[in-house]
Amino acid sequence: MSRFTKTTIILLAVMLVGVSTRAQEYYYGTYDRMVVLRDSTKMLMKFDPAVPSLNQSAFIESVGRIADTVSSAEAVDGFVACSLQTGAGYSAFLDSLQAAAEILLTEPFYVTEQGGALYIGQSFCAAFEGSVSSSQIDSINDLYSVSIQRELRGMPNVYLLHNSPGSGLRTLDLANLYHSLPETEYACPAFGMRPQLTAYKVFDYYSDHQPHTKKVIGQFNGASVWDFAGLTNTVTVAVVDDGTDSHEDLPSHRILPGYDFAEDDSDAAPGPAKAHGMSCAGIIAASHTTDSIAGLQNSSGIASLNPHVNVLPVKIGYDTLGLATYVEIAEAITWAHSNGADILSNSWGWPDKYAEFPTLTRALERAALFGRDGRGCPVIQSSGNITAFHSNPNYVRYPAWLPNSFAVGAIRLDDIRWDYSCYGPGMDIVAPSDDGYTVGVWSLDQMGSAGYNPGWVSDCPPGSNDDGYHCWFGGTSAAAPVVAGVAALLLSKDSALSTEAVYYILENSAVRDLDWGSIPEYHLEYGYGRVDAFRAVLSI
């Protein structure tokens, strides 16, 4: 199956999202309308900034229909989520509430068809056509009582805009109105719905714990992939995750200056109890040098796919909360491919198959097509893990299913798909991983007492370094950086390869003699097969 055919399948699957006989609302995705439903048992409201917090609490208690407030890190723009005693007369209730002097704006509580809460607020993204001047944009905004919050970093003419009571419109309706304007390319509410990381709950004492990496490295007649010449040329992989820092197996000279797009500062190191990004970086780039147990002896620590990689930390995770919004992640992707990244490794995705956001989609497309001075940055994306909001496995998570992203699923060491690994239209390839509940894939933790070990995991094998290494990694989070590491080997061997060429080589060098029954060229559960570094590098 060609990528063109695969793209057709993806687009047809996405277009079907908008087909329903029920009365529905919608926002505009990249390819079609995305259906949303009102949950009349909840609502969102924003108080006038002049109202003190004590008065806000008193006001909520005075409205008998409000049962309680709903705490969520996904609420945006200062809105408060509330549960209601009844859903009767929902729209009229919201209108009456907004008429109160204490309230600035009210919004319905929207969910996707799968039930995922979107958390709308006061903001929406609008991309204006390149020929539209600043004065024209200001005139349009003045007409609808809309203000500019900011222009997105690295994305000219793409603005985060603010609704106001003067518009007389809900934010969803206002975004759709802007989408229909001849001056705009698209517009979409800046929902608070966040992505999720896709981890699932050689001294060579670590060598025996790394069968997943060894299976992919591959060998032929005693030679391994590292016996090929020309694989020490520097390649920069952006690890778009919750932060990356130096480690005894990932020295500081190979950690480039990064950026934190969640908290908007230049400290891209992980928070005190975070290590997801460290584990991803370890699979891609760990040096397999020394550690605190082995002392100065060589051949210890964690082996990676490409120990010559430079890591560009692109932090999209808060130190104490979850991940950033799609707006911030779009800026992160744009910054990464504009600041030297050759490859983007993404072990995260939205748990709801009915979520797709054009600002982020366009950012990923531009990275894949126009990064690296027009050769493109391969965008390696985990296919996702099945969760409560993703009960149907036969769908690759957004944004992995996008035509210009490369979706990676997870298989066991016996080449059978892990039952948690999302699959379906858009799947590209699979890589070995683990379930993360027994001892899983070994990789890097933060050094010392920070990170996952000790604490979150305390039962790594006796004698292992619980402070510096993580023994419970798994999920499609672990599978995606395996493929990113192989892609780094390809670009190290031939930096002129385009994104499309890298995808083509990975697909056509993959091992297809898996448990498929009759083996087709393409399989919805396994894509083009299991990634193989030796065969991939040999092909060029």
pLDDT tens by residue, 332-375: 999 999 999 999 999 999 988 789 999 999 999 999 999 999 99
Is the pLDDT at 499 greater than 90? The verdict is yes
* 338: helix, strand or coil: helix
Widest Cα–Cα separation across the chain: 79
pLDDT digits (tens, 9 = 90+) for 48-82: 999 999 999 999 999 989 999 988 889 999 999 99
Q: Residue 259 forms beta bridges with which residues?
A: 314
- pLDDT of the residue at 200: 60
Domain boundaries, the chain: 24-193, 206-538
The lowest-confidence range among 212-226, 328-342, 374-388, 485-499 is 212-226
With a CB cutoff of 8 Å and minimum separation 6, the contacts of 170 are 107, 108, 163
What are the residues facing 348 on neighbouring strands? 197
Average per-residue pLDDT for the chain = 86
CA 18 to chain centre: 23
Distances, alpha carbon 197 to alpha carbons 10, 127, 277, 433, in Å: 23, 28, 9, 15
pLDDT given for residue 8 in this prediction: 46
Residue ranges with strand state E in 225-373: 236-241, 259-260, 310-315, 343-346, 348-349
Which range in 65-79, 133-147, 278-292, 444-458 is most confidently predicted, on average pLDDT? 133-147
Asked whether the beta carbons of 335 and 259 are under 8 A apart, the reply is yes
Query: pLDDT tens-digit profile of 174-214?
Result: 999 999 999 999 999 999 999 988 776 544 445 566 677 77
Highest mean pLDDT range out of 197-201, 324-328, 471-475?
Answer: 324-328
For residue 87, the model assigns a pLDDT of 87
Residue 376 has pLDDT above 50, yes or no: yes
Q: What is the pLDDT of residue 22?
A: 37
The tens digit of pLDDT for each residue in 9-24 reads: 444 444 333 333 334 6
Give the burial class of 355: count Cβ atoms within 10 A of its Cβ; 0-12 exposed, 13-18 middle, 19 or more buried. buried
Give yes or no for a cis peptide into 399 (omega within 30° of 0): yes
Partners of 287 in beta bridges: 303
The torsion region of residue 421 among left (phi > 0), alpha (psi -120 to 50) and beta comes to beta
pLDDT of residue 16: 39
Q: Is the dihedral angle over the CA atoms 432, 434, 439, 444 positive or is it negative?
A: positive
DSSP characters over 126-186 = EEE-TT--HHHHHHHHHHTT-EEEEEPTT-TTEEEEE--GGG-S-HHHHHHHHHHSTTEEE
Of 55, 16, 56, 57, give the one whose Cα is nearest residue 33. 16
What CATH number is given for 206-538 in this structure? 3.40.50.200
Residues 496-521 as b/e (b if ≥16 CB within 10 A, e otherwise) read: ebebebbbbbbbebbbbebeeeeeee
* Pure H helices in 286-438: 326-338, 358-370
d(CA 486, CA 497): 13
pLDDT band at 392 (very low <50, low <70, confident <90, very high): low
Residue carrying the six token digits 């995606």: 480
Q: Predicted confidence band at 298 (pLDDT cuts at 50, 70, 90)? A: very low
Q: In degrees to the nearest 10, what's the CA dihedral of 403, 409, 414, 420? A: -140
Confidence of residue 86 (pLDDT cuts 50, 70, 90): confident
What end-to-end distance do the CA atoms of the chain give, in Å?
21
